[in-house]
Amino acid sequence: MVEVPMTGTVRRSLLARLFVETRSVMPAAGSTGLSLVLVIATMCFLASLTLGAVLAVNHATQSWTRQLSGALTVEILAVEGQDPEMQRDAALTALSKTPGILTAKTLSRDDVAALIQPWLGVDVAREDLPFPQLIDVRLDTSAPPPDLDALAAALEKSAPGVRLDSHRQWLDDINGAANAAQGLSYAILAIITLTTIAIVTFATRAGLLANHEIVELLHLIGARDNFIASEIQRHFLLLGLRGGVLGLALSLLAFGGMSIVMNSSSLLVSMPTIQPWTLTSLLLVPVMAALVSVITARMTVMRGLGRMM
């Protein structure tokens, strides 16, 4: 059997059949064909990246907030004339008398060095630096939270140089940054949606003008506007779905690549990554792309057909 090599025309034909609905009033080529599929795929790629990023940031923010809100840190500074051991024991005694505290553990020098190692490096962290003593306090989440202001006053009264860090500043900064990122992401999604609507509107109008004779012929043989609009909106439904699936697939590849890069690099904090449950949310992107394409195309077609009459 002799194998016939595929020509460029055959390849383009197969590609058009894969991504474009060819049995439609609209032509498979031109502004409503493969070029529009690629444009919608690009919009869906950007939308998937934006949606996946905001979901990953929200998940990481909730995790960080949960960790910080359930823990406190007591810092014991070196004060002249004070014994560090007595300061620590006085702080532990004050903590043990406070309801709502689950555990209070004094961190060793190696533990404190490990905390500052990402910022100062391994060699610096191992030197004989005057590290403060730290007490890691875990709160009982099933009990009412302690009065932090009263606890801070009790610690300061127990011994000079004892300070309470409730992580409030960290929580405020994390929540503020997450809210700003969420608002920006939703604004980007709105811009992508409006851009997609404008592109589909332009493509539909261009398709109607290019196929003006075909539309008039359908009218002459008795076709109603609803039938023509249904044929065209079916074309854009399949077009939107195919472009959305292609954009989603590219975004998943991008998320996979970024995950590999972040896991192989040493960062100060763990970067937000996409979670498996997020994939179900990303599946809405092709569906929304198809709905936006269908609704926009139908409204544009009905207006355009009204002007042709």
Per the CB < 8 A criterion, the answer to whether 60 and 272 are in contact is yes
What pLDDT does 272 receive? 56
For 235-303, the DSSP string reads: HHHHHHHHHHHHHHHHHHHHHHHHHHHHHHS--SSPPP---TTHHHHHTHHHHHHHHHHHHHHHHHHHH
User: So where are the chain's domains?
Assistant: 26-65+172-308, 78-160
What does the pLDDT average to over 49-65? 81
Round to the nearest angstrom and report the end-to-end CA distance of the chain.
56
Kindly tell me if the per-residue pLDDT of 1 is higher than 60.
no
Question: Taking the model in full, what pTM does it have?
Answer: 0.67
Kindly tell me if the per-residue pLDDT of 30 is higher than 70.
no
Distance from C-alpha of 49 to C-alpha of 282, rounded to nearest angstrom = 9
Distance from C-alpha of 86 to C-alpha of 299, rounded to nearest angstrom = 78
What pLDDT does 142 receive? 76
What pLDDT does 29 receive? 46
- φ and ψ at 193, to 5 degrees? -65, -45
What does the pLDDT average to over 179-186? 88
Alpha-carbon 241 to chain mean position: 22
What pLDDT does 268 receive? 45
Alpha-carbon 126 to chain mean position: 38
Give residue-wise pLDDT tens across range 125-147: 455 666 778 888 888 777 777 88
**Local confidence band at 45 (pLDDT 50, 70, 90 cut-offs):** very high
Q: For the chain, give the percent of residues with pLDDT over 70.
A: 73
Give residue-wise pLDDT tens across range 251-262: 888 887 877 776
Give residue-wise pLDDT tens across range 204-214: 887 777 666 77
What does the pLDDT average to over 98-110? 82
Residue with tokens 């070029």: 35
Q: List 103's β-bridge partners, or say none.
A: 138
What pLDDT does 9 receive? 55
Kindly tell me if the per-residue pLDDT of 192 is higher than 60.
yes
C-alpha angle with apex 186: 183 to 189, nearest 5 degrees?
155
Per the CB < 8 A criterion, the answer to whether 219 and 305 are in contact is no
Distance from C-alpha of 57 to C-alpha of 61, rounded to nearest angstrom = 6
Kindly tell me if the per-residue pLDDT of 270 is higher than 60.
no
